[in-house]
């Protein structure tokens, strides 16, 4: 493999698209040279992601960027990378060989510190990329996962975003109190009874129980339970301490309740107790459900154990009805495809979006999969309804008793709160679209307490999630290429990012860094830039390995 001395690379010099690249072109920079403990990788492909857009807009203010001044220390973004070993440091030659192929887990940790690839470490928007200590010897070992030659580079680049989708259905939900954590129990001074059942036992008992404004009988019971499980009990009239578990009993006005349920640690569970929540709407921090994994449960009769154990799922209800608001976008298409490919899929899939073209493209790509499994597949555009009430009526007609699942792909708190009205009994809303922590949505908490409704969310994915998705792809039980909408070469990478910003394409975009002048092209139009490639597409619109090989042979230098 001949390695040049310089390469094109898209660098970020600060916040804003005007600081991305130099005069709207990639920089020419030296190809990094690995030391004895490093690898040099050729970047075969790099996927473009809305997370890249967020990074470019934020610059140094992005939480994963570690340098104080990008103008002086510019960063190469790009985390959805497909890599091939180009040069091996001498101390790594027993482990790696030139030509091996990998994808990378972007969330890299070293000694507990996040050093994300494409954020803290130079990423894949370049022709070559250096793999150093944190990537090769991080907290989870090596963050490179080998892939086979049978995968196209484009579909391999889609494994990382696909993993974020799949991870949304692999959220670990606990059904007990956090062992060694802080439990806060808040009352209104009146008698209340709590039943913990299996939620409180050896191995999952709090280290401290804080009782706030409790009746003497409940305080005595909690003190007894604390002694029984080797913990401490403290009674007080107020506490601002953050909780791992929060139980709220008695009557509290909305302002007080909203304040109480926001004092939670990451991964906390809040249980609302009582029969007075029917049709009661309060503002919940939707951003922290997504980013901090907060969870709300309800116990109308005081049975905390049943509340914790009830409706503990993050997967779609088999044979149920599922609604995907905003589901015709790039990530939404992946969610819809995954739903259709489940071993026990829903019986009805409803996708709504404000773009008729994207909805039509989605239906053209996935209707066959739905029909093959007997799944009713419905697309709706609220803009085609005369009034919001008319759109509501159409949704009600699809699920008269409410949806079993709502996978929220619209990052707007008001839309999230409005969509929650359509959850059915024991319904689950998966808040996939991230809104900033502190973003509130008005939710009927009576649905949580009395109807078993739940809200979950997740951000990013783990290396175990990536391994899981890679295994599915290699086994062909997952077809990532269905989500690919456009490809291009290095010089149009910024145009591709702008396309992500404006939702120009109904799916993902992948760039081939070594195809400098390949124009940004929809997959179903590849014949226009490479004779013969169009005939190698699946169903005339899905990229295949053979089509990609022909395309890269035409454009890569």
Answer yes or no: is pLDDT of 460 > 90. no
CATH of the domain at 80: 3.90.180.10
304 and 334 assigned to the same domain:
no
488 and 513 assigned to the same domain:
yes
Residues sharing a CB contact under 8 Å with residue 364, sequence separation 6 or more, in sequence order: 541
Residue 445 lies in a domain: no
Answer yes or no: is pLDDT of 276 > 80. yes
CATH of the domain at 406: 3.40.50.720
**pLDDT for the residue 458:** 85
Mean pLDDT computed over 315-324: 98
Residue 269 lies in a domain: yes
491 and 551 assigned to the same domain:
yes
* Contact in structure between 105 and 466 (CB atoms under 8 Å): yes
Q: What is the mean pLDDT of the chain?
A: 95
pLDDT, tens digit (0-9, with 9 covering 90-100), for 171-226: 999 999 999 999 999 999 999 999 999 999 989 999 999 999 999 999 999 999 99
pLDDT, tens digit (0-9, with 9 covering 90-100), for 18-32: 999 999 999 999 999
Confidence of residue 1 (pLDDT cuts 50, 70, 90): confident
Residue 281 lies in a domain: yes
**pLDDT for the residue 403:** 98
**pLDDT for the residue 503:** 87
**Residue 457 main-chain phi, psi, to 5 deg:** -160, 160
395 and 479 assigned to the same domain:
no
In Å, what is the CA distance from 507 to each residue of 163, 330, 369, 408, 523?
A: 16, 4, 17, 17, 10
pLDDT, tens digit (0-9, with 9 covering 90-100), for 366-403: 999 999 999 999 999 999 999 999 999 999 999 999 99
407 and 514 assigned to the same domain:
no
Domain finish residue from 275, 309, 343:
309
Confidence of residue 295 (pLDDT cuts 50, 70, 90): very high
Domain encompassing residue 191: 182-309
Secondary structure of residue 33 in the 3-state scheme: coil
Residue 120 lies in a domain: yes
**pLDDT for the residue 136:** 97
Answer yes or no: is pLDDT of 436 > 90. no
pLDDT, tens digit (0-9, with 9 covering 90-100), for 96-152: 999 999 999 999 999 999 999 999 999 999 999 999 999 999 999 999 999 999 999
**pLDDT for the residue 538:** 93
328 and 428 assigned to the same domain:
yes
Answer yes or no: is pLDDT of 365 > 90. no
154 and 197 assigned to the same domain:
no
Percent of the chain at pLDDT exceeding 90: 93
Residue 97 lies in a domain: yes
Beta strands in 68-207 (DSSP E): 80-88, 101-104, 109-110, 113-114, 128-131, 144-146, 182-186
233 and 354 assigned to the same domain:
no
**pLDDT for the residue 527:** 97
Residue 173 lies in a domain: no
34 and 160 assigned to the same domain:
yes
**pLDDT for the residue 161:** 93
- CA dist., res. 73 & res. 253, Å (int): 51
Total domains in the fold of the chain = 3
528 and 402 assigned to the same domain:
no
Confidence of residue 228 (pLDDT cuts 50, 70, 90): very high
Q: The pTM is what?
A: 0.91
Secondary structure of residue 85 in the 3-state scheme: strand
């Amino acid at each position: 493999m001949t390695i040049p001395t310089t390469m094109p690379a898209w660098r970020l010099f600060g916040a804003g698209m005007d600081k991305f690249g130099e005069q709207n072109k990639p920089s020419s920079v030296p190809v990094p040279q690995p030391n004895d403990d490093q690898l040099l990788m050729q970047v075969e492909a790099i996927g473009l992601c809305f997370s890249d857009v967020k990074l470019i807009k934020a610059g140094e203010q992005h939480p994963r960027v570690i340098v104080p001044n990008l103008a002086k220390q510019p960063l190469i973004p790009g985390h959805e990378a497909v890599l091939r070993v180009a040069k091996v440091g001498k101390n790594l030659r027993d482990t790696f060989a030139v030509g091996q192929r990998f994808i990378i887990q972007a969330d890299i940790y070293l000694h507990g510190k996040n050093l994300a690839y494409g954020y803290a470490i130079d990423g894949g928007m370049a022709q070559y990329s250096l793999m150093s200590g944190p990537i090769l010897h991080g907290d989870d070992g090596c963050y490179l996962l080998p892939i086979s030659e049978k995968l196209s580079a484009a579909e391999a680049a889609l494994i990382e975003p696909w993993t974020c989708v799949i991870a949304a259905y692999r959220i670990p939900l606990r059904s007990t109190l956090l062992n060694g954590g802080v439990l806060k129990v808040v009352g209104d001074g009146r008698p209340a009874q709590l039943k913990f059942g299996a939620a409180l036992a050896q191995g999952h008992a709090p280290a401290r129980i804080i009782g706030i404004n409790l009746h003497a009988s409940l305080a005595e019971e909690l003190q007894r339970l604390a002694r029984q499980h080797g913990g401490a009990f403290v009674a007080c009239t107020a506490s601002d301490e953050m909780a791992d578990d929060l139980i709220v009993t008695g009557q509290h006005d909305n302002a007080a309740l909203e304040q109480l349920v926001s004092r939670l640690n990451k991964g906390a569970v809040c249980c609302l107790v009582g029969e007075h929540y029917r049709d009661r709407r309060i503002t919940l921090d939707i951003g922290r459900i997504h980013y901090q994994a907060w969870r709300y449960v309800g116990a109308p009769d005081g049975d905390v154990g049943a509340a914790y154990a009830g409706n503990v799922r993050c997967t779609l209800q088999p044979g149920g009805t599922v609604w995907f608001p905003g589901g015709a976008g790039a990530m939404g298409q992946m969610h819809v495809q995954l739903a259709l490919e489940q071993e026990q899929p829903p019986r009805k899939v409803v996708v709504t979006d404000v773009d008729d073209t994207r909805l039509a493209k989605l239906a053209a790509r996935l209707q066959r999969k739905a029909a093959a499994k007997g799944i009713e597949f419905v697309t709706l555009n609220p803009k085609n309804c005369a009034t919001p009430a008319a759109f509501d009526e159409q949704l009600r007609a699809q699920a008269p008793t409410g949806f079993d699942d709502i996978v929220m792909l619209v990052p707007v708190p008001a839309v999230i709160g409005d969509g929650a009205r359509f959850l059915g009994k024991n319904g689950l809303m998966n808040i996939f679209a991230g809104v900033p922590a502190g973003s509130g949505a008005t939710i009927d908490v009576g649905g949580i307490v009395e109807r078993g409704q739940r809200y979950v969310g997740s951000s990013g994915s783990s290396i175990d999630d990536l391994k899981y998705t890679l295994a599915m792809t290699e086994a062909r039980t997952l077809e990532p290429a269905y989500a690919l909408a456009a490809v291009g070469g290095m010089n149009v990478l910024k145009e591709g990012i702008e396309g992500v910003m404006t939702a120009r394409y109904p799916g993902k975009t992948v760039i081939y860094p070594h195809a400098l002048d390949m124009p940004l092209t929809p997959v179903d139009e590849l014949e226009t830039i490479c004779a013969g490639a169009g005939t190698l597409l699946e169903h005339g619109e899905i990229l295949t390995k053979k089509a990609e090989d022909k395309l890269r042979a035409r454009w890569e230098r």
